[in-house]
């Protein structure tokens, strides 16, 4: 009898443990409990450093960044795994799960070897502007060689799941939305203050966008910009008046408040909004309007809403990462995120959507400021660099036209001239490496041949390799010393492989995501495979990242 009871209990345990296991397996097979997910919201914050989450933590409310951290999963050691760390490549890499080596977006602008002129990552002469009569609207993702996870979601749902991209910057809306997007909308300032698109997506703006534009939302932001809280409580940033910040034309000092109504005429009309915290607010307004306007997240076919906040980058470039302006911009962005999440709760439903938030790159502290506190930093004089290199080429090869272009820390050689003079391409590349490694502030130099023929697994060499597209990139790649930039003496910039440019936030929250955090290293190329795995759809066609399964519930 006792033996039978034991057997019975053992069988019961088996049944229950099998059932429990089955549930886990089942939910994983279904794409980790995506039955209720109707919408994926991808948020990219342009130029957001990881430490903005921690530095301004005490200033954030409960409904924005903290809601993501408290309810969702925080990958605290997330990095870009290639150079250059710019906006175009960043947005492409987040959504394709691969790097410039494969998706081909090697910079924002790059020298096109075939047509021998500079091209823009989202520029497309074959399409027209919709909403503004200018080249500002001649944009599409045609230069991006890979699919995004939003493209794969469109294919998976037989085009029933929608994709909408929204940003101040065209490239911030277009690249995430991918090739099959229903729409990408971006901000056109000047005398309009409108959101526009291109004929790549549609021939006329939908009614809801016209209504938004005509409601003069942009005009409502041409008001004084002052700090949200008393400026004396902004103890997490440098003093408001210092030598490290640029300012608006028509204002003597980079100090609060900024009267945008009077400053707008000398600063590009509505474009001034881009370089203030209000640029993020209008993007949040537009994204919230899109939820109803585009009927996003209203049925069982999963939609993707890609929102990119660009003003953080404009503010960082003008005022620097340690400014009061950047602190206020993040405090206000936190409020805009809260508004967006509240709207998602109301219109899509709590727990019926999944969000990720990351950045397209981070940024360096203003080198002049770093220098003032004894940290090695400074500025590179690119003109003297070019002059020295020209003189060398003339002396060594007797030709002044062998270097065709220098951009994005790469040197492009004139192949036709090299052949004509019967020179060896490798020899010319090597000679340049040996020459410029002796130049001031140049830390490392490599030939494209080395980068393409060696398999690097770590360090700057691996980052250069993953950012180097054999067909599109240059012949010689050089790296400046840490915190040395080719930029104005005020404000911050980015582009390098140093941690200050590569370390960005990665937060997941909502349906299918568990609460937690990790310092385990993750890479930006993991985001798209993670979203694909969550949705149970194909990975983007060039994806090389790993699904971060520890974030799944």
Which residues are near Zn ion by CB under 5 A?
313
CA separation for the pair 326, 339 (Å, rounded): 20
Between 368 and 537, whose beta carbon lies closer to Zn ion? Answer: 368
Quickly count helices (H) and strands (E) in the chain: 21, 22
**Other beta carbons less than 10 A from residue 133's beta carbon:** 8
Closest CA to 328 of 232, 221, 188, 218: 232
Task: CB nearer to Zn ion: give 285 or 313.
Answer: 313
Residue 87 CB, shortest distance to Zn ion, in Å, is 6
Q: How far is the CB of 320 from Zn ion (least distance, A)?
A: 12
529: helix, coil or strand? Answer: helix
Do 480 and 6 contact (CB within 8 A), yes or no? no
Residues 6+ apart with CB under 8 A from 282: 168, 187, 217, 218, 221, 273
- If one counts every other C-beta atom within 10 angstroms of the C-beta of residue 220, the result is 13
N-terminal to C-terminal alpha carbon distance within the chain:
42
**Residue 308 C-beta: closest distance to Zn ion, Å:** 12
State the minimum distance, in angstroms, from the CB of residue 371 to Zn ion.
21
Check if the beta carbon of residue 464 is closer than 8 Å to that of residue 222.
Answer: no
Contact 413, 403 (CB under 8 A): yes
108/429 with CB nearer Zn ion:
108
Q: How many CB atoms lie within 10 A of CB 422?
A: 6
Q: Which is nearer to Zn ion, 84 or 178 (CB)?
A: 84
Residues 6+ apart with CB under 8 A from 369: 238, 242, 244, 320, 322
**Least distance to Zn ion from the beta carbon of 363, Å?**
7
Dihedrals phi, psi of 134, to nearest 5 degrees? -150, 170
Closest to Zn ion by CB, 294 vs 313, is 313
CB closer to Zn ion, 271 vs 313 = 313
Determine the 3-state secondary structure of 221 from DSSP.
coil
Please give the DSSP secondary-structure letter assigned to residue 135. G
Query: Least CB distance from residue 376 to Zn ion, whole Å?
Result: 23
Q: Using the CB atoms, write b or e for 12-28: b if 16+ within 10 Å.
A: eeeeeeeeeeeeeeebe
User: How far apart (Å, rounded) are the C-alpha atoms in residues 286 and 282?
Assistant: 6
- The residue of the chain with the least Cβ separation from Zn ion equals 313
* DSSP per-residue letters across 156-192: HTTT-S-EEEEESSHHHHHHHH-TT-SEEEEEETBTT
- In this structure, are residues 385 and 518 in contact, taking their beta carbons and an 8 Å threshold? no
Minimum distance from residue 313 beta carbon to Zn ion (Å): 4
CB 353 within 8 A of CB 303: no
87 is catalytic: yes
From 87, 275, 493, 522, active-site residue: 87
333 vs 344, beta carbon nearer Zn ion: 333
User: Contact at 8 Å (CB) between 503 and 365?
Assistant: no
CB proximity list for 179: less than 8 A, separation 6 or greater = 141, 144, 147, 148, 151
Q: How far is the CB of 493 from Zn ion (least distance, A)?
A: 6
Residue 236 or 313: which CB sits closer to Zn ion? Answer: 313
Smaller CB separation from Zn ion, 84 or 131: 84
* Tokens representing residue 97 in the block: 């799960």
Q: How far is the CB of 317 from Zn ion (least distance, A)?
A: 6
Beta carbon of residue 409, minimum distance to Zn ion (angstroms, whole number): 15
Give, in order, the Cα–Cα distances in Å from 381 to each of 131, 170, 352.
Answer: 40, 30, 52
Q: What are the residues whose beta carbons fall under 8 Å from the beta carbon of 409, sequence distance 6 or more?
A: 83, 84, 477, 478, 479, 480, 495
The set of catalytic residues is 87
């Amino acid at each position: 009898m006792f033996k039978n009871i034991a057997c019975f209990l053992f069988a019961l345990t088996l049944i229950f443990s099998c059932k429990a296991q089955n549930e886990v397996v089942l939910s994983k097979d279904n794409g980790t409990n995506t039955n209720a997910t109707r919408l994926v919201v991808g948020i990219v914050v342009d130029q957001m450093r990881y430490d903005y989450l921690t530095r301004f933590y005490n200033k954030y409310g409960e409904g924005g960044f903290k809601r993501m951290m408290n309810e969702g999963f925080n990958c605290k050691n997330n990095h870009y795994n290639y150079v250059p760390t710019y906006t175009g490549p960043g947005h492409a890499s987040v959504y394709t799960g691969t790097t410039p080596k494969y998706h081909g977006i090697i910079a924002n602008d790059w020298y096109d070897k075939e047509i021998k002129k500079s091209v823009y990552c989202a520029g497309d002469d074959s399409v027209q502007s919709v909403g503004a009569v200018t080249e500002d609207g001649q944009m599409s993702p045609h230069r991006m060689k890979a699919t995004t996870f939003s493209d794969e979601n469109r294919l998976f749902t037989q085009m029933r799941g929608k994709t909408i991209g929204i940003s101040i910057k065209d490239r911030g809306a277009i690249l995430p939305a991918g090739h099959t997007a229903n729409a990408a909308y971006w901000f056109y300032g000047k005398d309009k203050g409108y959101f526009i698109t291109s004929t790549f997506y549609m021939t006329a703006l939908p009614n809801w966008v016209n209504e938004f534009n005509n409601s003069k939302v942009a005009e409502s932001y041409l008001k004084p910009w002052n700090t949200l809280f008393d400026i004396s409580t902004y103890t997490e940033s440098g003093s408001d008046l210092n030598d490290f910040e640029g300012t608006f034309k028509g204002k003597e000092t980079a100090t609060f408040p900024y009267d945008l109504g009077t400053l707008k005429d000398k600063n590009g009309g509505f474009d001034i909004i881009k370089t203030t915290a209000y640029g993020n607010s209008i993007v949040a307004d537009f994204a919230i309007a899109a939820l109803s306007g585009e009927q996003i997240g209203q049925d069982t076919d999963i939609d993707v809403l890609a929102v990119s906040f660009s003003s953080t980058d404009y503010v960082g470039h003008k005022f620097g990462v340690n400014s009061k302006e950047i602190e206020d911009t993040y405090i206000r962005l936190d409020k805009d995120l809260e508004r967006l999440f509240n709207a998602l709760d109301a219109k899509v439903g709590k727990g019926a959507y999944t969000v990720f938030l990351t950045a397209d790159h981070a940024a360096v502290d203003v080198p002049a400021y770093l220098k003032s506190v004894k940290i090695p930093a400074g500025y590179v004089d690119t003109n003297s660099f070019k002059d020295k290199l020209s003189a060398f080429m003339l002396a060594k090869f007797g030709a002044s036209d062998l270097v065709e272009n220098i951009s994005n820390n790469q040197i492009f050689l004139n192949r036709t001239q090299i052949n004509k003079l019967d020179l060896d391409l490798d020899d010319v590349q090597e000679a340049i490496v040996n020459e410029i490694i002796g130049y001031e502030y140049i830390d490392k130099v490599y030939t494209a041949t080395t980068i393409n023929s060696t398999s690097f697994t770590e360090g700057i060499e691996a980052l250069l390799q993953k950012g180097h597209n054999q067909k599109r990139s240059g012949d010689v790649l050089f790296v400046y010393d840490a915190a040395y930039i080719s930029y104005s003496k005020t404000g911050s910039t980015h582009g390098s492989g140093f941690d200050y440019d590569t370390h960005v936030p990665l937060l997941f929250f909502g349906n299918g995501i568990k609460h937690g955090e990790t310092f385990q290293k993750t890479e930006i190329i993991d985001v798209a495979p993670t979203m694909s795995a969550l949705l149970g759809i194909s990975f983007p066609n060039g994806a090389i990242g790993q699904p971060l399964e520890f974030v799944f519930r």
